[in-house]
Amino acid sequence: MAGASASPGDSQSPSQSSGRRVKHSRHGCVSCKERRLRCSEERPVCSRCLDDGRSCEYVLRLIWEDESSRRGVKHGRGKNAEISFVDPTPSKDVAEKAQWRPRRNGRSYFLNTIPEDMDAAQSMAVMRFDGRYKSMPRLHVPQTLGLSNVDRILFQYYQVQVCRNLTLVDDSSNCYRQIILPLSISYECVKRSILAIGALYLSLNQPSVLVDYYSLALHQKQRTLHQLRYDIASLNGASSNHVLVAMLMLCLFDITDDCQTSWSTHVSAAADLIGTEDTQSLEPSLVSFVSKFFATRDVMGRSACGARSKFRKIAWNNPQEIDKSAGCSSELLGIISSITDISRQMAENMENDSPHLVRQVITIESQLDELIQLLPTDSALNSEQEAFLVQTSALVHNAAKLYFYTALHSALPSTLIVRRLIADQVLVITGIPILRSAHLWSVFVTALYAFNDEERIFFLEQFDKLEEVSATRSSTQAARSIVQTVWKKRDLDVDGEQVTESGVSDWVRFVRPMSEGLSLA
């Protein structure tokens, strides 16, 4: 019958009319889709890829509605499509086969989270050390300090980075860590000075658009000054150990912060305090450390400007022993100081032939020739540390000789002894692995008397290296500017012979008028 309809048993579903029934995997991995195989959709590795040893990846492909319309297919999975949660945890047998371990529960953060967003228990600042980013080790920050999260970051940065860069050898005898940090527990001015230095060094080494470390540094400095004034007014015969340390830190802050000339004020104040204080009430190791710090900066700084000594008392146990921060012995520092004093007397009195001055000059020359500098004996040094100290002490020794001949004998860059000393300095500097603040004075003195363009380029490169040291960045920029100005003036000076005849050195003519407040240590 033509109009007869098919019986119900003869009807077929759409899926049956298309051929064999296949259950497609909608969320299969890339490998199974490319091979047109059914994927088990197990995460992180499906069973097929696991058995075949293939790399299993899941990629989500987005299809726009316009693309579906062009292909003439329905967009999406239907009007009432179910949205189910896909558990990424694989089945037990697959997990054991793939040695998969569940993720540990713990606090997590976004990649752009800053340290200030974290709580103190989870914070670990990521700092840039020697050109590489690495996490700072978790050091003990006393809970009694009552620091905020930001302050803990500053305190830890001072412990790890600042203390390490302020000395040539960072070991258990590092006074910036072993003497200063314990005082921060009991004295507010010391604690605030540590935070100020930490923030200042962070602003130089790791400028951030999220945290204004420089403003934090200035804020902490003001709090240090306020507390220091209060402590000085209320001493009443009490120990002033913490006051000396706070002065030291403020001096270091001003030198690092654009080499502010106020650093010399702290030198004078500390010298007055130690001179009037009963030394029995002061910790001997602290007095020695503070004296070395201020004396070194006083000696090196006034060699450029020719000023009178502000700090003469140096509490050094062994005058021949190389200090790990200064890079030379106290005996050599005393010789450099004497050269500056005699040079100033010559410039003021114009009596170069005075028997008294002649004897002093001969004595200094003999001291320089016979000088012996010994390695420190208070701690065990490895071969690299010993070599570093020996090279640095030799660099300062040669620079002191160069300073002697140029300041007291008015030697010129073309003088034979000057040429030899500069050649020796170039060899020593080339062998030093890294330049620190202890090398600035030697580089400055030697660069002033560079004779040709090759030598000048070499020393400009050394200034570039020193500018990478945050402790001397501003001082190095000022020193470079003075050196380049001296080069220009000397090149334009057509009366060079008259300088030698009159006995006025380039230090008096060129360097000292530009070097007031310059720090070279």
pLDDT digits (tens, 9 = 90+) for 409-458: 999 999 999 999 999 999 999 999 999 999 999 999 999 999 999 999 99
Residue 188 domain-assigned (yes or no): no
pLDDT at 398 over 90: yes
Are the C-beta atoms of residues 475 and 261 closer than 8 Å to each other?
no
Name the domain boundary from 98, 129, 159.
98
Half-sphere exposure of residue 473: CA atoms within 13 angstroms, side-chain side: 15
Task: Say what the pLDDT of residue 436 is.
Answer: 93
Distance CA 66, CA 333 (A): 82
Q: What is the pLDDT of residues 24-68, one digit of tens each?
A: 567 788 888 888 888 888 877 888 888 888 888 877 655 566 666
Residue 517 belongs to domain spanning: 325-521
Range ranked top by mean pLDDT from 14-28, 75-89, 375-389: 375-389
Residue 363 domain-assigned (yes or no): yes
Are the C-beta atoms of residues 29 and 46 closer than 8 Å to each other?
yes
Number of Cβ within a 10 Å radius of residue 305 = 19
Number of Cβ within a 10 Å radius of residue 231 = 18
Task: Say what the pLDDT of residue 499 is.
Answer: 43
% of the chain beyond a pLDDT of 90: 49
Task: Say what the pLDDT of residue 287 is.
Answer: 86
Residue 8 domain-assigned (yes or no): no
Task: Say what the pLDDT of residue 126 is.
Answer: 38
Residue 36 domain-assigned (yes or no): yes
Q: Tell me, what CATH number does 62's domain have?
A: 4.10.240.10
The residues that bridge with 129 in the sheet, in sequence order, are 132
Name which residue leads in pLDDT, 90 or 509: 509
Average per-residue pLDDT for the chain: 80
Distance CA 250, CA 453 (A): 39
Number of Cβ within a 10 Å radius of residue 340 = 23
Q: Count up the domains in the chain and report the number.
A: 2
Residue 504 domain-assigned (yes or no): yes
pLDDT at 118 over 80: no
Are the C-beta atoms of residues 436 and 396 closer than 8 Å to each other?
no
Q: What is the pLDDT of residues 475-498, one digit of tens each?
A: 999 999 999 999 999 888 754 444
User: In Å, how far are 170, 287, 432, 446 from 465, measured between CA atoms?
Assistant: 20, 32, 12, 16
At 362 the three-state DSSP class reads helix
pTM, full prediction:
0.71
Name which residue leads in pLDDT, 33 or 365: 365
Residue 171 domain-assigned (yes or no): no
Name which residue leads in pLDDT, 116 or 332: 332
Instruction: Show the tokens assigned to 485.
Output: 């100005």
Residue 244 domain-assigned (yes or no): no
At 436 the three-state DSSP class reads coil
Please, which pLDDT band fits residue 229 given cuts at 50, 70 and 90?
very high
At 378 the three-state DSSP class reads coil
Closest by Cα among 75, 78, 104, 84 to 41: 84
Average pLDDT score over residue span 398-413: 95
Distance CA 106, CA 110 (A): 13
Name 352's Cβ contacts closer than 8 Å, sequence gap at least 6. Answer: 346, 503
- Which letter, b or e, does each residue of 360-398 get, where b requires 16 or more Cβ atoms within 10 Å of its Cβ? bbeebbebbeebebeebeeeebeeebeebbebbbbbbbb
Residue 394 domain-assigned (yes or no): yes
Average pLDDT score over residue span 227-252: 88
